[in-house]
Structure 1
Amino acid sequence: MAALGTLLLLGLLLTAAPGLGQGPGRRRRPPPPQRPLEEVAAQEGLSLPELAGRWFLVGVASRCSYLAEHSHQLEATAVMVTVLDGQSLAISTFRKLDGMCWEIRQRYLPAQAHGCFLLKGRGYGNRVDVVVGETDHSHYAILYYQTGRSISIKLYGRSSQVSNAVVDKFEQRVKAMGLSEDVIYYFPTYGFCDSADEFHILDETKP
């Protein structure tokens, strides 16, 4: 069970609370406030069919302390997006844990506005709000995730490497949300998994 918990955290499809990993009584200066996710507009003209297909997780910005302490363990991560019923997204994330390829299955349910989604699952108690903030569908996508008061931002690419202009754009979006470059982590560009056997599938879509 501990390994599955680690898989969820390192898979980075969820946002962990900023205080995760801090001992009781340990005090830190509060970080600058973040803009609420409600202020983030979804991509205009977003086409879900064009969003489908394979993506690579290029980078993530998050104040998650677990991520900061274990950033040396980041593995190349690929995502397969499938559109369901024209509104929901089926997400399969492929990454390694202890040298084995795992698949994490999740579903993004439609929220109030187009381009906004709700993520629920058995492995976490809080709902996760997701916004597709920016994408050109064919090269990159920037997604925002919020659980409780914690926000993370992720950069995906159709290839494992994106242009410097896209990286600059991502870092600008990160700063605009009140996060610093110190909490940006970039993922390996090699060693991707294409599939996982039936014994290494974590299906978060089941009740």
Structure 2
Amino acid sequence: MAPAIFLFLSGLLLASPSSAQRRRKPAAPENPIDKIGAQANFDPNLFAGKWFLVGVASKCNYLSENSHRLEATNMVVSVADATSSDSLLVGTFRPLDGICWNIKQAYFLTKTPGRYLLRSRSSPTDVVVGETDYRSYAIVYYQRKRKISAKLYGRTARVSDAIVAKFEERVTGVGLNEDLTYYFPAYGFCDSADQFHILDGEFQM
């Protein structure tokens, strides 16, 4: 009987998870934005200045339903502190019903150069400057609630076909495609807004 009891107890021990195994937490799901590398040796001072929004790739329902109503949009970027480069100050200008609005935002620097955090009351947005030559184009990625969108900016309202092709290639790498890519008008921009049309907000498209 003793050997039988011994084998029975041994089986129970082998079948039961250890206390360490019971305490082990499941691995956190991978953050999609972490797969996107920031521009090597990103220089925020070179990135500063005016950029025109050329195109957006996104699964946003608003874009799909209102792509025919897109307005010319541009942004002006400055560095909050030229010494420490703590964050980027971004003013996005867009007309609405003939009135120019300026949406002001701060992109806070993270531990990774070229990667920023846009804080909000609802859900923060991760921002990664994925690729830029500073002179003609920039591809910037945004993630909110684990959904990624990509924007193509140009120093001028129109960029070369080669840059557009590069953008379309990059967006396929984050699960987007040409059916989810929208291009903005290259005319009708505004550059200033009066004090009654300046918003401190979390505008994202």
Same fold (TM over 0.5): yes
Range into which the TM-score falls when normalised by the shorter chain:
0.7 to 0.9
Aligned ranges for residues 73-112 of structure 1 at < 5 Å? 73-85=69-81, 86-112=85-111
- Root-mean-square deviation over aligned CA pairs: 1.2
Output the TM-score relative to the length of structure 2: 0.80
Aligned to 2:187: 190
CA distance in 1, matches of 2:201, 2:74: 17
Aligned to 1:139: 136
Aligned to 2:22: none
Deviation at 1:147, TM superposition (A): 0.6
Aligned to 2:64: 68
CA distance in 2, matches of 1:148, 1:40: 16
3-state secondary structure, aligned to 1:190: coil
Aligned to 1:173: 170
Higher RCO (Cα < 8 Å, 6 or more apart): 1
Output the TM-score relative to the length of structure 1: 0.79
Name the % identity.
56
Aligned to 1:40: 36
Runs of 4 or more above 6 Å deviation: none
**Structure 1 unaligned spans of 5+:** 1-34
CA distance in 2, matches of 1:131, 1:45: 13
Aligned to 1:154: 151
8 A contact 2:132–2:138 mirrored in 1: yes
Aligned to 2:12: none
Query: For each residue in 1:34-71, what CA deviation from the matched residue of structure 2 results, as whole angstroms up to 9, or x when unmatched?
Result: x8110100000211100000000000000011110011
8 A contact 2:109–2:117 mirrored in 1: yes
**Structure 2 unaligned spans of 5+:** 1-30
3-state secondary structure, aligned to 1:91: strand
CA distance in 2, matches of 1:43, 1:87: 17
Give the letter aligned to residue 109 of structure 2: P
3-state secondary structure, aligned to 2:166: helix
